[in-house]
Amino acid sequence: MIIRWWLFLLVCLCPPLYGEVVVVKQVLDGDTFITTTRQRVRVIGIDTPEVGRGKGVDEPFAQQAKQLARDLLYQQQVTLTPGEESMDPFGRTLAYVTLPDGSDFAHHLLKQGLAMVRIFPPNLQHIPTYLNLEAEARRQKMGIWLPGSEYLLNPFEANKGLGHHRLVSGRVVHISQSRKRVYLHFGIHRQSDFTVGIRGDLWQTLFHAHGLNKNSLLGQRVLVRGKLYHRGGVSMNLDHPWEISVGQ
């Protein structure tokens, strides 16, 4: 009986090893859609501009991202490959999406500058490729990466992105540490200027293992990505080394 219960739990809780073929019924925005079986799917690894709900205002390029997603997905049979974490707090399936031609759906949005990479451990399988595609779109100033973009900010205008996932590019001028966290400061006013926080245990293990430490970061220009929030000044938390790039 105990063995049967363990088998039941494994079947219910573990994501399938192989992809699930579904048909897309409705596209909500560039990275979220609904299948004919009413399954709500959030694409892993990317974040597209938000479509305004109700009387809300669309973010720039939200409709373009949604239209491209609709062109590629609507009424198509696509394959969902779940991440290690296969469900988000909102009950949406988290999955990589393969189109009928075998291509990765996320590639199309990233190549056209209609999505940014969003990193949520442990779902990291395709992130290096996604980062390269995003970087190329930024170099070509496509879509959301046009000059003056609100998706790529400097530390002194980071408040424009409060509450959203954004990229911030600037120089680390000071590094401080508390009992539980490490802080990268991007201005001389530590309590009010843009600051990045990293958990101390992650800093000592994962970040150091990727060559990210005080010697490699202090005084360097870096690109960080994550959600911006207000805590004295504007702040961002990093959970993985791939959320910071040196020399950009």
Tokens, residue 28: 């909500």
* Cβ contact 23:36 at 8 Å: yes
Alpha-carbon distance of 203 to 170, in angstroms, equals 20
**152-246, which class in CATH?**
mainly beta
**Selection from 126, 119, 99 nearest residue 206 by Cα:** 119
Position 227 scores a pLDDT of 96
16-144 architecture in CATH? Beta Barrel (2.40)
The domain limits of the chain are 16-144, 152-246
Q: Which residues of 180-198 are buried (b: 16+ CB within 10 A; e: fewer)?
A: eebebbbbeeeeebbbbbb
Catalytic residues: 42, 50, 92
Averaged pLDDT in 10-residue chunks for the chain of 248 residues = 41 53 98 97 97 85 97 98 94 97 98 97 96 98 94 95 96 95 91 93 96 96 96 93 93
Give the H or E element holding residue 68: helix 62-73
Position 231 scores a pLDDT of 82
Q: Judge whether 16-144 and 152-246 match in fold.
A: yes
